[in-house]
Amino acid sequence: MRIPGAKYLTTAQIVQFMTGITMTLGVQFYGSQCDSEASRFALAGIQLYAVGLIVLFSLFFGTKYKKKDGKGKKKD
């Protein structure tokens, strides 16, 4: 069963993870004035997890949505 717009949903999820990392980078660099070291450490763990999700979702996107030629090989 094909889900309409699944390709766009996957793209939106990748963008969401990238946006989350980008928006929280300021806390990592300037957070010592208003955040504790423990919370910045936890945030770093979440950011690292998000990087892993970006990799996994990108691999899924490449496998699932890249067009294939007639010989079963992926087109570039």
Whether 40 is in a domain gets the answer yes
User: Helix (H, G, I), strand (E, B), or coil: what is residue 31?
Assistant: helix
Write down the pLDDT at residue 29: 80
Write down the pLDDT at residue 53: 97
Whether 74 is in a domain gets the answer no
Whether 76 is in a domain gets the answer no
Q: Are 57 and 14 in contact (CB under 8 A)?
A: yes
Whether 19 is in a domain gets the answer yes
Whole domain around residue 11: which residue ranges? 6-62
Q: How confident is the model at residue 71 (pLDDT cuts 50, 70, 90)?
A: low
Whether 70 is in a domain gets the answer no
pLDDT at 70 over 80: no
- What pTM value is reported for the model? 0.76
Give pLDDT tens digits for 16-63.
999 999 998 888 887 777 678 888 888 899 999 999 999 999 999 999
Burial letters 52-73, b for 16+ CB under 10 A, else e:
eebeebeeeeeeeeeeeeeeee
| Number of structural domains the chain divides into | 1
